[in-house]
Structure 1
Amino acid sequence: MPSAATTWGKEIATEIVGGIPFRMYTDRPRRVERLLDFAGRWGTRPHIIQGERVTTFEELRHGAFAKARQLADLGVNRGDRIFILGWNSPEWILNFWACLLVGAVPVLANAWWSEVEVGNGVAALQPAMTLADDRCAARVPAGVRRGPWGLDRTWWQNGDVIADEGAHGEEETALIIFTSGTSGQPKAVMLSHRALLARLQMTLHITRKLPHQVDETARDVTLITGPLFHVGGMQTLLRAVVVGDTLVLSEGRYDPAEVLASIERNKVKRWNAVPTMVTRLLDHPDVSRRDLSSLKSISIGGAPVHAELMQRIRTQLPSVSPRIPTGYGLTENGGQATAAAGSEDIEELGSTGRPLPCVEIRFLPHPGLPDGEILLRSPTQMSGFFGLDESPIDEEGWLHTGDLGRLDDKGNLWITGRCKDMIIRGGENIAPAAIERALLNIPGVTETVVFGVPHRDLGEEVMAVVVTDIDLTPQQLQDQLRGQIASFAVPSRWRIQREPLATNDTGKVDKKAISAQVRVELQNEG
């Protein structure tokens, strides 16, 4: 067992950082790259499975050090930003660890981005190097320095510990990850080593999986169907190295048939998914034909979880009941602020659970809204947005989430609405402002509003009301949007009209009234 295992405690005290009091573990790890020490604890145990490919913990560790040496020899220095643009794969994971080992800052780009969005991200972050897989390489702008995505086997012999292991603080940026803002431009969230490790330690604490508590003879097999470039996927990756989990990566687009087969073949015990994925799996005809008895836990996040879905899981996947973890968080607060493990009483399902041990919650009243805005303070929160002075974190350290909520008498947090303009489609955050700007660049479009409308499978789908002065069809508009915005952000519902949009007393487009009217009409149609 690595000596680092003794530095993970349960005692919490208040520490002042930058004049702000944070609840933090007294005994805690300080650097994310040191988590790779735990790979030696698990040796030849399978760590990553994708199709027929199997990578052990030992192979990951040797490969990560070898790739770090390769990056150093290519001129990558401590503090350099390295774009990682690709889909889930063993190479993606190896590149992530290699960047940390060489002292660089991995920038987790969104593999769903269009060519325009990739170009904007590169221009904003100015990375020293970009690592892109074959599927994403064509979207990297010309002139950007590219590094190798994979690792030539001849480098493995150079996989010794690299130089520059001097003392570096936990405040240093560990990674940069993107989130959609209401302004429409993806914002680069800087997360420190302390932020990532505080969330990990809280999760391990409440699940009794701190390093000294782990049963070395036990092994969880976790299926990952969401992208690793999301903050939830990142935390799953860090947790797996510490506790010795095997990660099963899906191949290509989400396919419920493939997932069902993978659960059966690999004896998957845990699955991290958004509600849409679970719904589609339960709707698949093979769900009753496969042996899914190994599956014990489904971690659901990224969108509201309805009681109907929870009941379906209990009925169709009885081995999972009654523990169906869920929670609440934002990328800006490190991805998770609350956690719940389900309830024996189906009527209580729907809450996001109680705050994690180091998380503080308060509510800011807003005139005209029934519940207050959720404010969070935690050592997991971001250091800021890269390149921007603006921040949703106030001078007292409270992160203004834009979400509305309340605590019940048991301390569970309930999300009751959003005071910010955002669509959540199948777990992906979509900023309407970005779609509206793209639509207004199309000849013939004079006005537009974009908002979310309810969808049984996705939670919400994107609706656009467009005013034109020429004849345009939804298909023509969709065709012109593709390549300008992410594919999942292209509206699937349309209303095209010649009359101007309704306005309020100040002369501004009354999006709230328009969206309310459309929702009523859709409800009457359905």
Structure 2
Amino acid sequence: MAHYTNYFVEALRNRVASDIILYEGSKSITAGYLLNSAYSLASALHDSGVNKGDRVVMAVKPGIEFLQVMYANMMVGTIISIIDPEMGRENYLQKLKQFAPDHAFVDSKLILLNEHPLLKFAVLRLNKTVPSFPRIQNCQLFTTGSWLPLFQKHRKVARLIKRQAPTLNFTPIEENSDFLITYTSGTLSEPKGVVHHYSGLSNSIKHLTKLLLDNKDEVLATHLPHYALLGINAGIKVYLWENGMDPASKVRFILERNITTLFGPPSDFVPIINYLNRKAAEFPDCVRNIYLGSAPIYNSFLSRLVPLSNTLKITCMYGMTESLLVTIQDGREKLAYTTQGDLVGKPFTNVALSIADDGEICIHSDQIYSHYWQMEKTQNLHFTGDIGKIDDLGRLILLGRKKDMIIRGNFNIYPGLYEPTIHQIDGVKEAVMVGIYNDEKADEEIVLVIDGEEKLTAQNVMKQLTAGKYSIDKEALPDKIILRPIPHSGRQAKIDRKQLVEQLTAENR
């Protein structure tokens, strides 16, 4: 087998071949089988015309096949974009059009629903939204998951893996090569793809791995595929679970598998906290560490989590798509911080912070993104859009957001992307999306305020946002729709978002 310079592949090669590295339901995979199956798939892809630098889009369910596809593409050296199919049709198509993939790896169910409108209609009667993957011209299709009768020409990943891999020497992949594109909503209608090279992503994984080095017997549960990569590189076992499981099932899952480590945004843990409080129970003793990230971690959330265990270590991480890990802070110390602002802690190794004249936080990091897709290479300094300060102990304190971005769960939501679509709905005069923090959920709620005609109802608006011509991202769907006049201010009578937020916050008290 060829030798690779890629950090992720080399880390997998260095694992004991017989080690089970991932559990998915009743299935599991060893390091050796993952390496060999990925190599077989990479060889088959190479024979099928997949080459270094080709653009690949992935819509594959997290699991064993996801890892096989990911590692195979690393070996070939493609540029991967993982675009969530569960979003508004127009937005999804726009991102696919901008990325213009040469090849697509897609769950067969997403293809089937697109090819069979009657089946899709039947499923829509049971679900509000049905993700599907459109037919793309000049794009080679590879399918994962169950075998299904598809009309499109495609190659099944499982069959390609079963082939006997020839001895091929792939071109070594440079660590500064572009690798992964993650789309943010962006502040404009034009999609914004953040491009990471291997070096930046591997440095992020190395930082996370250092957090686990003292606990080699850790067992991680997650629903996010990048934490599976963390487990492989840290030498620990990873269990994939369905994030939609009810909290009682999650607690049983934790106890039965002796889970020691959990990663996720605060909103992932709110149902478990509520369940344990109803049962007057503590957090399972086997869990030693919870790592929180991907969203603001408010003290109101920590004040509900901390009393559930005296021994649980809570670690809070602040980061963003452009630089995944910026600062780290102990959760109990964060809860004890009562000074103005949100304490997010000291920077990770090789992360340098500075504050611009207007108070905006700037980052220089070894994890910094390469550039935005179809834009020139970025400088090493990233302007975050957050306002903050650095205290005498070198800790970063957030004071607010420069942008109007709403963060809910694991997602960044930009109102400017969706408001133009909402304005097109018949009867809507003006529409504004704002984020209002909900203490019970430990997360922001999206409130859509509409000034509309009398015939307009909140139910009708939600129906049109969920499916059809005016559908928007599933993750951006509002928690509440309020019909009322919208405040304006200034000489040009612009929408006063700040005043609107203050009004809604006061009314919720």
1:364 and 2:356 are equivalent in the alignment: yes
Q: Contact 1:202/1:358 (CA < 8 Å) preserved in 2?
A: no
Letter of the 2:456 partner, please give it. L
Q: Contact 2:56/2:80 (CA < 8 Å) preserved in 1?
A: yes
What does residue 444 of structure 2 align with? 460
| 473-482 vs 428-437, which moves further | 428-437
Provide the rounded CA distance (Å) in 2 between the counterparts of 1:45 and 1:341.
32
What does residue 207 of structure 2 align with? 202
Change in Cα spacing, 1:208 to 1:243, as seen in structure 2 (3 Å) is: closer
What does residue 403 of structure 2 align with? 420
1:270-309 maps to which residues of 2 (within 5 A)? 270-285=261-276, 292-309=284-301
SS of the residue aligned with 1:377?
Answer: strand
SS of the residue aligned with 2:135?
Answer: coil
After superposition, give the CA deviation of every residue in 1:264-299 in whole Å (9 maximum; x if it has no partner).
Answer: 111111100211122211111586669822111000
After superposition, give the CA deviation of every residue in 1:334-371 in whole Å (9 maximum; x if it has no partner).
Answer: x11112244568513862221111111001132xxxxx
| 168-177 vs 75-84, which moves further | 168-177
**Cα deviation, residue 133, structure 1:** 1.4
Alignment counterpart, residue 164 of structure 1, candidates 170, 175, 178: 170
Alignment counterpart, residue 373 of structure 2, candidates 386, 394, 416: 386
Change in Cα spacing, 1:72 to 1:184, as seen in structure 2 (3 Å) is: same
Letter of the 2:337 partner, please give it. E
Change in Cα spacing, 1:117 to 1:254, as seen in structure 2 (3 Å) is: farther
After superposition, give the CA deviation of every residue in 1:143-170 in whole Å (9 maximum; x if it has no partner).
Answer: 343212253257335246643234x432
**Cα deviation, residue 378, structure 1:** 1.0
What does residue 453 of structure 2 align with? 469
Letter of the 1:347 partner, please give it. A
1:315 and 2:307 are equivalent in the alignment: yes
Provide the rounded CA distance (Å) in 1 between the counterparts of 2:420 and 2:401.
22
Provide the rounded CA distance (Å) in 1 between the counterparts of 2:158 and 2:218.
30
After superposition, give the CA deviation of every residue in 1:461-496 in whole Å (9 maximum; x if it has no partner).
Answer: 111111223511111001111132122211122221
Change in Cα spacing, 1:136 to 1:405, as seen in structure 2 (3 Å) is: farther
Q: Contact 1:189/1:332 (CA < 8 Å) preserved in 2?
A: yes
1:433-448 maps to which residues of 2 (within 5 A)? 433-448=416-431
Change in Cα spacing, 1:79 to 1:496, as seen in structure 2 (3 Å) is: same
Q: Contact 2:182/2:195 (CA < 8 Å) preserved in 1?
A: yes
What does residue 150 of structure 2 align with? none
Provide the rounded CA distance (Å) in 2 between the counterparts of 1:208 and 1:244.
9
Provide the rounded CA distance (Å) in 1 between the counterparts of 2:212 and 2:464.
51
Letter of the 1:110 partner, please give it. D
Letter of the 2:475 partner, please give it. F
After superposition, give the CA deviation of every residue in 1:369-413 in whole Å (9 maximum; x if it has no partner).
Answer: xxx211001121111111235x8x5x5x32110111222222221
1:94 and 2:94 are equivalent in the alignment: no
1:22-171 maps to which residues of 2 (within 5 A)? 31-38=7-14, 41-137=15-111, 138=114, 139-144=132-137, 145=139, 146-150=141-145, 151-152=157-158, 155-159=161-165, 162-166=168-172, 168-171=173-176
1:405 and 2:388 are equivalent in the alignment: yes
Change in Cα spacing, 1:162 to 1:324, as seen in structure 2 (3 Å) is: farther
Letter of the 1:152 partner, please give it. A
What does residue 499 of structure 2 align with? 513
Change in Cα spacing, 1:313 to 1:289, as seen in structure 2 (3 Å) is: closer
Letter of the 2:71 partner, please give it. W
SS of the residue aligned with 2:494?
Answer: coil
Q: List alignment gaps of at least 5 residues for structure 2.
A: 115-131, 146-156
What does residue 218 of structure 2 align with? 220
Q: Contact 1:264/1:291 (CA < 8 Å) preserved in 2?
A: no
Percent of pairs identical after alignment?
Answer: 23
Provide the rounded CA distance (Å) in 1 between the counterparts of 2:445 and 2:185.
16
Provide the rounded CA distance (Å) in 1 between the counterparts of 2:7 and 2:492.
52
After superposition, give the CA deviation of every residue in 1:10-29 in whole Å (9 maximum; x if it has no partner).
Answer: xxxxxxxxxxxxxxxxxxx7
Alignment counterpart, residue 258 of structure 1, candidates 249, 255, 269: 249
After superposition, give the CA deviation of every residue in 1:105-142 in whole Å (9 maximum; x if it has no partner).
Answer: 22111243233332112101011111111454342222
Q: Contact 2:433/2:449 (CA < 8 Å) preserved in 1?
A: yes
Q: CA RMSD in A?
A: 2.6
| 46-55 vs 416-425, which moves further | 46-55
After superposition, give the CA deviation of every residue in 1:504-523 in whole Å (9 maximum; x if it has no partner).
Answer: 22232222222222222233
| 76-85 vs 483-492, which moves further | 483-492
Q: Contact 2:296/2:407 (CA < 8 Å) preserved in 1?
A: no
**Cα deviation, residue 252, structure 1:** 5.8
Q: TM-score, normalised to structure 2's length?
A: 0.84
Provide the rounded CA distance (Å) in 1 between the counterparts of 2:196 and 2:327.
18
**Cα deviation, residue 313, structure 1:** 2.8
SS of the residue aligned with 2:98?
Answer: helix
Q: Contact 1:46/1:57 (CA < 8 Å) preserved in 2?
A: yes
Q: Contact 2:487/2:499 (CA < 8 Å) preserved in 1?
A: no
Alignment counterpart, residue 353 of structure 1, candidates 345, 349, 353: 345
Change in Cα spacing, 1:289 to 1:516, as seen in structure 2 (3 Å) is: closer
Provide the rounded CA distance (Å) in 2 between the counterparts of 1:425 and 1:398.
26
Alignment counterpart, residue 434 of structure 2, candidates 439, 447, 451: 451
Provide the rounded CA distance (Å) in 2 between the counterparts of 1:402 and 1:345.
22
What does residue 326 of structure 1 align with? 316
Q: TM-score, normalised to structure 1's length?
A: 0.82
